[in-house]
Each structure stands twice: as structure tokens, then as C-alpha cells.
Amino acid sequence: MKRLGPLLLAAAIAGACAHPAGTGDAARRGRDATGTRATNSTVRATADRRGDCAACHAEIVAEHRGSYHRAAFTDATFQASLALEAPEDRAFCVDCHAPEPDRAAGVGCASCHGAAPHDAKVAKRPSSCAPCHEFTFDGRPELVQKTLSEHASSDFAAVACAECHMPKRAGHRDHRFVAGHSPAAWRSAVHVDVARVVSAGAEPSVRVTLRVDAGHAFPTGDMFRRARLMIFAEAADGHIVASAERTFGRTWTSLPNGARTQASDTRVRGAWTEAVALGEPSGAIARVRWSLVFDRVLAARPPHVALASSDVVTEGELPW
């Protein structure tokens, strides 16, 4: 689902045209501003004091303008979810989704570079993502988002978050942070293999293997994120004669004080494999089809689940 309105996109394009200078032009612009052949370190020292990043990093500013970090507060999904919260609880949400004085700036330059504006090594440490990507809610016993711990215990612990999420683009680190909102981004990291299990007499079964090359659980992040694998056995005319479903996500229950506590966690860490029985078929099976769907859940107040979007990450077919 695309939630960046045409206005926002137009603004990003206009921004890029109004400031043709990229990071590569930062040094030249710095010289223009001071009228001398200032070294990069003098320019950076002045810039740190001025705090106006857009003046010299126009390309990065334009990329950031199209990102979900920038939209973290204005985003329709966030606003819809915020409206479900009691008014006295909203400041907590806003402090993280829009930590800067200008709320519309969302997670802006200073949110990640504030500690040391001109030291990329500091920003690159996973600890610079930690304040927002690993946290608990007041009164809840455990972390609601824990991407940092998941990362630390994954096969990719030695690979910085930025290494995967900020690939090089036109000579600098991409600030668009293309991720969970793009099924295409998941597609390159999620691999599904489905094979027939041959065992005489038993219900038809398939062995499913899911491998996810992400540096954390799949899905990670928000407490309600989930992925669903749906498997359908079809007759020659397309009728479904048997099926099975597996959900990868977390579920939550309420404690007596109203706080939610985690009840289960079936997310994929690296790989998952299972022989899935499809049940007694109601007719002859011609093929088995499968589909892996990524759900962005807005709110889950059982038995109701409100979906913000549901996208097919990958699908396939196996002749029987």
C-alpha cells in the first residue's frame, strides 16, 4: 500500500531540483558560504553549530523526505493507530515517532545524528537505532519491539543495521530506508521451498522450508507484525480440496492490571522447516499452491484484527 500522497512526492522532487548539490557538492558549497578554501573539518565544525543540514546535503535530504522515518508522524497508519490510544497515552507515541520540535519532520536528521552530527561512525553503530527500535511500554513486563536483541543473537550480529538498510547510492548511504513497506524488499530476502512428502496411507503433506536473510526475526518491529503462509491443495478444476495455514508473529494477552504480555512468538529466526499435513482431501489433488503474505496489522483487539495492508511476498505452485 502506498501512503505517501502525491503532494509529499511532489515536494520531494521539487526539493531535489531546488538544491542540485549532493553530498559531493557539500565541500564546494561550504567554500561558497565562507568565501575561503575551507577544509572539510572547518566546514563541518561550522555546520555542527548551524544545524542546518539541508544547505549542504540536498540529495540525502530528498531521500529522507520520501522515507518512512520522515513520515513516522504524518503517516496515515500511525495517525489511525494513535487515534485508538487514550489521549493521555499519546505523548509517549509521539515522542518516538516525532522526537524533533517540528513534528512533521518525523524521525529527522538530528534524531540519528544529534550525538555527533559529523561522525558517520557514531550513527552507524546499532546503538544509535536502539532508543527507538528496542523498547518497552509503561507497565508491560517485556520489550514490545526488540530488533536490537534479535540482531545481536542472529547470524548477522557483526553486520551493522546500516550495512543492510543503507546501501550505497550515487556515492553516499541511501537514506530512504526501503524496508517493510515494500514487498519487493522482502522478496529478495525471503526464500520458500515446498516439496511433497511421500508416505503411503497418511494425509497428503508437504515439507516447507522458509529461509529469511534478515539480521533479525521475520517479521521484526511492531508488536502486531505477522506473516502468514497459506497452502492450498487444488483439484484439476481449481477447487480447493484441502488446505493448511501457519502464522509467524507474536500474540499478546492482558494481565490483571490491563498491561499486555506476550503469549507466543512464532517468528522466523534464520530458518523454519516443518512437514505440514493438509488434512483429509475432499477430492483428487492436481496441484498444491502456496502464498506467503506479510500483514501490517493496525490493531489487534481479539477477536478483531484491523489490517493496514496485506501483501504477497512470494508464491508458488507444485504439481502433485
Site for ligand HEC in 227-286 (CB under 6 A): none
Site for ligand HEC in 297-316 (CB under 6 A): 308
Residue 197 pairs in a beta bridge with: 205
Q: How many Cβ atoms from other residues are within 10 Å of residue 117's Cβ?
A: 19
Position with the least CB separation from ligand HEC: 180
The rounded distance, in Å, linking the Cα atoms of 57 and 101 is 21
* Binding range to ligand HEC, per CB under 6 A, among 77-85, 192-200, 280-288, 312-320: 77-85
CB of 263: closest distance to ligand HEC in angstroms? 19
Site for ligand HEC in 39-68 (CB under 6 A): 40, 43-44, 46-47, 50-53, 55-57, 60-61, 64, 68
Under a CB-based contact definition with an 8 Å cutoff, are residues 300 and 254 in contact? no
Site for ligand HEC in 193-222 (CB under 6 A): 214-216, 219-222
The rounded distance, in Å, linking the Cα atoms of 15 and 178 is 20
Pairing mode, strands 134-135 and 271-277: unpaired
Q: Which of 19, 146, 147, 250 binds ligand HEC (CB under 6 A)?
A: 147
Q: Work out whether 128 is an interface residue with ligand HEC (CB under 6 A).
A: yes
Under a CB-based contact definition with an 8 Å cutoff, are residues 296 and 76 in contact? no
User: Which grid coordinates belong to 213?
Assistant: 536473510
The closest of 229, 245, 221 to 165, measured between CA atoms, is 221
Q: Is 30 or 204 the residue whose CB approaches ligand HEC more closely?
A: 30
Q: Work out whether 11 is an interface residue with ligand HEC (CB under 6 A).
A: no
Q: Which of 4, 12, 112, 217 binds ligand HEC (CB under 6 A)?
A: 112
CB of 58: closest distance to ligand HEC in angstroms? 9
DSSP element (H, E) containing 60 = helix 58-65
Q: Is 91 or 198 the residue whose CB approaches ligand HEC more closely?
A: 91
Q: Work out whether 146 is an interface residue with ligand HEC (CB under 6 A).
A: no
Under a CB-based contact definition with an 8 Å cutoff, are residues 228 and 295 in contact? yes
Q: Work out whether 85 is an interface residue with ligand HEC (CB under 6 A).
A: yes
The torsion angles phi and psi of 66, rounded to 5 degrees, stand at -95, 10
